[in-house]
Amino acid sequence: MRYPAYPAYREVPDGPIGKVPAHWQIKRLRFVTRGIEQGWSPQCDNEPAEPGQWGVMKVGCVNSHRFDANENKALPPELEPLPEYELHPGDVLVSRANTRELVGSAAVVPARVRSKLLLCDKLFRIRPEPELDPEFLTYFLRTPAARFQYERDATGASGSMQNIGQDTIKDLPVPIPSLREQVAIASLLSWKTAQVDALICKKRELAQRLLEERNSLITLAVSGGYGKGAGTRKPGELLVESAPRGWTSRRLRYLTKTVTSGPRGWAQYFADEGSLFLRITNLHRDNIVISSTDLQRVDPPEGAEGERTQTCAGDLLISITADLGSVGVVPQGMELAYVSQHLALVRVEEAVIDPRWAAYTVLSELGKHQLRIAAYGGTKVQLSLGDIKDITISLPPQRHMQTVILAQLESQLEKVEAMLAAASNAVRKLQEYRTALITAAVTGQIDVREVAVPVPA
């Protein structure tokens, strides 16, 4: 649907807004609010409050741009609540501390919010003056114009946690049309973004089904499930109870030349140029391709211990700390790389087993199950090299059958990956459309005053 422009515009000096309809005002947020405050974060268990109990909101309650009342932690009974921090309909909440992508996420507290929910100290609460509609303000806070100021002013040494101060919020220049226009704009955006969000949800559900299908295909292939009624099985259900007749099961230790890991302390050799240094970030939990992005280089001295772990084409790499079970097969042209201490380097007997077969076994549901059982370490789950050696692999009777099955599997996976890419691209375009529509509406680039918005049932 195409929307008309307003009859006349005026330029907005400074800042990213550009221009607004001639009759709109621009005011800094501090002049159209009754106050901005942050809340209270007492020590709480990570369990949501029961109905009738007091709960303290988590910062994630605004991450989806809609208020999620379930994102709270129960206030311990021995602590007295602070009623001045109780949330009320129309409060606009903004995350003041979060990752760079999520800091500044905003949502409005809905009309039918449950009682006894408290503002936490990682959220700002904005209470707009009567001339500013809370829904309209929340949509503006989602625009690139607002994010420009968040990202410019955010502080924090860590890339995973950024902070914005009250002055950043208070100094935001906000377009102010008439209250009637604000309500019309917010109503249209609620209607249209709900449609877009429903489409995004469907695309994500499709992507999830495709992921399940990919896992099923891999598990079928490496466990002898092809030709055993595969067409009647649903993605995600238990595929194979036992290998077919003629197949054998062997532990990885009997199919390898080497199972080792990289040395400690190689961060001191990091350099802009030199040999490749492969890390967990270069492996995946859904395919066996080693990522060529975010590659680290090292320049070790001659005779450094890590030379024993230089890779050869066909080596299998398996993560043994974070992201357990992420794998990769070293391709031609990436050999003579070094590996992190967090990776197991497995060099198989290629006359007996294709390294891709071993890699797909690790990715399969059967492989993941083995790794889950073997993992240990409390909060820091990890695997030993002995655990890697003990992975059981099913093998067809002849070596060439692995090649045949892998060719069939990778042909099917290529089709699934294409559909996954299409679903991901559709989600990205829908998100871009949603952002563009919100920005255009709340900055007056389109005139939606005459658009008939259906009344919710």
Question: What is the predicted pLDDT for the residue at 57?
Answer: 95
Retrieve residue 102's tokens.
Answer: 């999520």
pLDDT of residue 25: 94
pLDDT range class, residue 222, cuts 50, 70, 90: very high
**Digit-coded pLDDT (tens) for 312-344:** 999 999 998 888 888 999 998 887 888 888 999
pLDDT at 236 over 70: no
pLDDT at 54: 95
* Percent of the chain predicted with pLDDT > 70: 93
- The owner of tokens 């076994």 is 361
pLDDT, position 378:
57
pLDDT tier at 126 (50, 70, 90 boundaries)?
A: very high
d(CA 187, CA 218): 47
pLDDT > 80? residue 442: yes
- Counted residue by residue, the chain has a size of 457
pLDDT over threshold 60, residue 269: yes
Do the first three CATH levels of 25-176 and 248-395 match, i.e. the same topology?
yes
Task: Measure the CA–CA gap between 105 and 98, rounded to whole angstroms.
Answer: 9
Give the per-residue pLDDT at 224: 85
Query: Is residue 444 within 8 Å of 9, Cβ to Cβ?
Result: yes
Would you state the pLDDT for residue 234?
Answer: 46
Measured in degrees and rounded to the nearest 5, phi and psi for residue 446 equal -130, 150
pLDDT of residue 103: 85
How many angstroms separate the CA atoms of 439 and 449, rounded?
16
Q: What is the per-residue pLDDT for 267? A: 81
pLDDT in tens, 384-414: 899 999 999 999 999 999 999 999 999 999 9
The model's confidence at residue 377, banded by pLDDT at 50, 70 and 90, is: low
Each residue of 413-436: pLDDT tens digit?
Answer: 999 999 999 999 999 999 999 999
CATH of 25-176, one of 3.90.220.20, 3.30.365.10, 3.60.130.10, 3.40.630.10: 3.90.220.20
* Mean per-residue pLDDT over the chain, rounded: 88
For domain 248-395, give the fold.
Adenine-n6-DNA-methyltransferase TaqI; Chain A, domain 2 (3.90.220)
Is the pLDDT confidence value at 237 over 60? no
Residue 346 pairs in a beta bridge with: 259, 316
Res. 209: pLDDT tops 60: yes
For residue 457, pLDDT beyond 80: no
Domain-by-domain residue ranges, the chain? 1-9+180-240+398-457, 25-176, 248-395
Residue 233: pLDDT above 50? no
Instruction: Give the confidence band of 380 by pLDDT, cuts at 50, 70, 90.
Output: low
